[in-house]
Amino acid sequence: MKVNATTSTSLHWIGILVIVALWRPALSQDTFVAITPEEVPQYRFNLSRYFFPSLEAEKRERTNLLTTLKELEAFKGKVALSPDNLLRVLELSDSLQVQFHKHSDYLYLRWAINTQDGESLKEGKAIGAEVAKRTSFVHKELKGITDRTLTECIAQKPQLEFYRFVIEQEIRYDAHAMPLAEQELTHDLAPFITDWQYTLHEDLLARTQYGTVHTSEGDLDVYKQRTVIDNHPDRTVREAAFKKLYNGFASQRDLQAFVLVRLASARNHLARLHHYEDAASESYFHRYWTKTEISDLLERVEKQADIYKRYQHIRANYVKKISGYQTVNIWDMSVRPVGSPSPRFTIDQARNTIHEALKPLGPMYELELTQLLDPANGRLDIVPGDNRRSGGFSSGFVGETSTFFSSSFAGSYNEARILAHESTHAVQRQLMNNNGVLPVYFGGPLWESFAMFSELLWADYLSQNEADPIRKQYFQEQFFEGKGMIMFVAGPEAVLEQAVYEGVKRGEINNADDLDTLTKRVYSQFSIWPQKHEELKSQWIDIPLMYEDPFYDLNYVYGGALALKYYQLYLLSPKKFVRDYIALMANGSNARPDILLKKFLDIDLHDPRLVSDAVSVLEAKLKLLEAGYSN
C-alpha cells in the first residue's frame, strides 16, 4: 500500500515479504523463547494513553471531526476566492487530516490486535470514505488555480508560501482532470472497471488445489505452509512442493491471464481518459518520473544484473559445498551448514542490536528509537496470539505518537528485520513531528529508501559484531537478502509489469502463453534460475503487488539504489552524512524527491551513476562473502 500524506500505516510490507521470501523460518517445533511469559504484558499497546480513553470516547469525539468538516464545507465554491479563504481552507484541511488520523489509526490498531473486531475496521474505513467524499471539492478547486493567482495570493498572504508545493501539485494535475460528470461516472464505475481484478486474482489463488507434501512430521500444505516447506531439511520434500506449487499456479493460468490482461487494458483506457499516454505513464507521473526516465533506470539495473547472477552462483556453489549435492536447485537455497541453524533473537537482543546499529544516526534519532522500543511506553504490540492481523507495520501521524505492530515476534531474523525497517518509519514520523512538518507533507516517495538503509545498517552491524564465523556469514548474506539486492528482485517485476501493459496496449499480450514467454525472457536477464526451472515462467501469477497495487514495485527499485547510495555516503563521511540525512528525514516532502535529495544529500536521482555506485557497494560486500565461503 502506498504511503502518502493521507495514509499513515505502511502496509506495503506484506507484499515485499512475499517477493523476498528468501529467508525461511525454522521448523515449528522449537523451544526458543523470544518474549518470556513475564515480559508478555509489556508488549501490548497502551491505546488509551495515546488515543482515546475508550471506544465510547472515540465515538463522542467524532463530533469534533464533523465540526471541522462542516467548517471546511462552508468554503465550497469559494476556496480560491481570496488569499484568506485559501489559507483557511488549507489549514482546516490539515486539522481535519490530523483529527481523522487519530480516529482511523485508533480503530485500525484495535482491529489489528483483534481481527474479530470487524466493526472498528469498518467504522474507520467509513470515516475515511466520508472525509474523502466531502473534501473532494477542495482538490477540484485547488486544481483550478493558475500559477499567476498563486503568486499573487502568496504575495498578499506570505503564510501561504508553506503550502506552495501542495498547491503546485494540484495545479500540476489540472491537465489530467476530467469534466465533473465524467469524473463522477468513472468513480461510480470503478468497481466494475479496475476494482474486481485483484479480488478475482486472490480468489483464484485461494481456490487452487496445490496439494500437500508428505513429511516425517505429517503432511504439509504446499501453499499455506510454503515458508516452512522451503526450509525443510528433506530435499525431496522441497522439490516436490516447488513443483506442486507451480503446477497449482499453472492450473489457473487461463483465468489469471484474463485477470491481468483486463487489468492492464482497463487501466490503460482510464489513463487515456485522463490524458496520459498509458497507465505506466500515469503511475510514474504521480511519483514525478517520466516513462523515459523509468525505462532508462530499469535498463541500467538490467545491465548491472550480472552482479546479482554472480551472487546467486556464489550462493549456489556454497550450498553445493556444504550439502554435497551434485547439482543445486532453487529449492536448495535455504540449506544451512550442519549444526548451525539460522540465528534467533530474543526481543531484548532485537531491540539492543537495532539500537546499537542505528545509534550512529545521532542523538535525535537515538532518543526517538529508544522511546519507541522501550516496552514501558506501550508503543509495541508484538506478542503472538489468535485473531491478529498478519505481517508488521508502523502507524502514526502529526500530533500522534507512532507505534509498531507485528502479528508475532517469535525471534526470527525476518521478524527482527521488520522491526528494524518499521522502526525507521516510526522514528521518521517523530522527527517530522518535532520539526513541525505540515500534515500535507508527512511521508513522501523517499520513505522506503530510509527504512531500507536501516536494514542495511542493522545487517552490517550484526556481521561486524559476530565472532562465530558461520553466523557472521549468515549476517553477511542478509545484507544482500535484506535489501542490498532488492533492485534486482523488484527490477524484473517492474520491467515485466511495464512490458505487460505495453504488450496489452499493442495487442501482443493476450493470454497465458504470451505472459509465460514474456516472463521467462524478462526474468532470465536478472536471475540464473529461469533457464534451469521451466516452472518459473508462471511467476507472473505470483507477484501480488502487480495485482494489488500496480506499479508500486518500482519504489523498491530506486529505493534500493538510494539505500545503497546512502550507505556509500555514510561510510565516506559519517558525520556529514548523518547531519544531512537526519535533516532530510525530518524535513517531510515539501518538494519533489529529486529536489530534496539534491538539496540535502547532493544526490542526483537521475544520474546514471546512481545504479553503478550502488553496484560498487555490492561488489565490495560480495568479495567479503566470497572470501568467507572459500575458508
Q: Which is nearer to Zn ion, 10 or 304 (CB)?
A: 10
Stretch that binds Zn ion, among 10-18, 67-75, 167-175, 502-510 (CB under 5 A): 10-18
Burial class (CB in 10 A: 0-12, 13-18, 19+), 103: buried
Q: β-strands 380-381, 400-406: how paired? A: parallel
- The residue (of 259 and 451) whose beta carbon lies closer to Zn ion is 451
Tell me how far apart the alpha carbons of residues 494 and 615 are, in angstroms, rounded to a whole number: 19
Span from 88-96, 447-455, 501-509, 601-609 in contact with Zn ion (CB under 5 A):
447-455
* Nearer to Zn ion (CB atom), residue 14 or residue 121: 14
Which window, 333-341, 451-459, 531-539, 589-597, contacts Zn ion (CB under 5 A)? 451-459
Query: From CA 174, how far away is CA 424, in angstroms rounded?
Result: 34
Q: How far is the CB of 214 from Zn ion (least distance, A)?
A: 38
432 binds Zn ion (CB under 5 A): no
Nearer Cβ to Zn ion (446/541): 446
Q: Please report how close the Cβ of residue 274 comes to Zn ion at its closest, in angstroms.
A: 28
Amino acid at 530: P
Work out the burial of residue 456: count CB atoms within 10 Å of its CB; fewer than 13 is exposed, 13-18 middle, 19 or more buried.
Answer: buried
Could you please report the per-residue DSSP string of 579-607? Answer: HHHHHHHHH-SSS-HHHHHHHHH---TT-
Which residue from 445, 456, 478 is spatially nearest to 584, judged by alpha carbons? Answer: 445
In the bound state with Zn ion, the residue whose beta carbon lies nearer, of 12 and 244, is 12
Stretch that binds Zn ion, among 4-12, 42-50, 283-291, 376-384 (CB under 5 A): 4-12
| 563 in contact with Zn ion (CB under 5 A) | no
- The region of 8-16, 23-31, 91-99, 406-414 touching Zn ion under the rule CB under 5 A is 8-16
What would the 3-class secondary structure string for 130-180 be? HHHHHHHHHHHHHHCCCHHHHHHHHHHCHHHHHHHHHHHHHHHCHHHCCCH
Q: How far is the CB of 455 from Zn ion (least distance, A)?
A: 10
Residue with cell 518474549: 35
Least CB distance from residue 552 to Zn ion, whole Å? 11
Please say which residue, 383 or 451, places its beta carbon nearer to Zn ion: 451
Q: Which of residues 69-108 bind Zn ion (CB under 5 A)?
A: none
Stretch in the footprint of Zn ion (CB under 5 A) among 2-10, 29-37, 178-186, 308-316: 2-10
C-alpha closest to that of 526 among 498, 562, 497, 485: 485
Q: 612 CB contacts (<8 Å, ≥6 apart)?
A: 300, 304
- Residue (10 or 414) nearer to Zn ion, CB: 10
Residues 6+ apart with CB under 8 A from 99: 64, 65, 68
> Whole-number minimum distance, CB 302 to Zn ion, in Å?
25
Count of chain residues binding Zn ion (CB under 5 A): 2
Nearer to Zn ion, 16 or 260 (CB): 16
Site stretch for Zn ion (CB under 5 A), options 368-376, 449-457, 480-488, 526-534: 449-457
451/586 with CB nearer Zn ion: 451
Other Cβ atoms within 10 Å of 185 Cβ, number: 13
Site for Zn ion in 316-335 (CB under 5 A): none
Q: How far apart are the first and last CA of the chain?
A: 43
- Min separation Cβ 597 and Zn ion, Å: 18
* Min separation Cβ 3 and Zn ion, Å: 7
Going across the sheet that includes 392-397, the strands are 380-381, 400-406, 392-397
CA angle 285, 286, 290 (to 5 degrees): 20
Nearer to Zn ion, 400 or 455 (CB): 455
Binding residue (CB under 5 A) for Zn ion from 6, 8, 9, 10: 10
Strand-pair partners of 66: none
Which span sits near Zn ion by CB under 5 A: 9-17, 49-57, 195-203, 387-395? 9-17
Strands (E), 44-131: none
Closer CB to Zn ion, 328 or 431, in the complex: 431
Per DSSP, the three-state class of 238 is helix
Nearer to Zn ion, 294 or 451 (CB): 451
**CA distances in angstroms from 4 to 15, 365, 445, 599, 603, listed in the order given:** 17, 22, 8, 21, 22
- Candidate segments 271-279, 430-438, 444-452, 508-516, binder of Zn ion by CB under 5 A: 444-452
- For Zn ion, the closer of residues 249 and 365 by Cβ is 365
Instruction: Examine residue 451 and tell whether it contacts Zn ion (CB under 5 A).
Output: yes
Q: State the minimum distance, in angstroms, from the CB of residue 448 to Zn ion.
A: 5
Residues 377, 345: Cα–Cα separation, whole Å = 21
Shortest Cβ distance from residue 451 to Zn ion (Å)?
Answer: 4
For Zn ion, the binding residues in 139-198 under the rule CB under 5 A are none
Phi–psi pair at 395, nearest 5 degrees? -145, 155
Dihedral angle of Cα 585, 589, 595, 600, to the nearest 10 degrees: -20
**In the complex, minimum distance from the CB of residue 115 to Zn ion, in angstroms, rounded to a whole number:** 22
Q: What is the largest CA-CA distance in the chain?
A: 77
Of 80 and 487, CB closest to Zn ion: 487
Tell me the closest approach of the beta carbon of residue 418 to Zn ion, in angstroms.
Answer: 9
Report in angstroms how near the CB of residue 421 gets to Zn ion at its nearest: 6
Q: How far is the CB of 254 from Zn ion (least distance, A)?
A: 35
CB of 483 to Zn ion, least distance (A): 10
Dihedrals phi, psi of 402, to nearest 5 degrees:
-80, 155
Provide the residue type at 527 as one letter.
Answer: S
Q: Which is nearer to Zn ion, 418 or 518 (CB)?
A: 418
Which residues have C-beta within 8 Å of that of residue 148, sequence separation ≥ 6? none
Binding mask 489-528 for Zn ion (x = CB under 5 A): ----------------------------------------
Applying CB under 5 A, the residues found at the interface with Zn ion are 10, 451
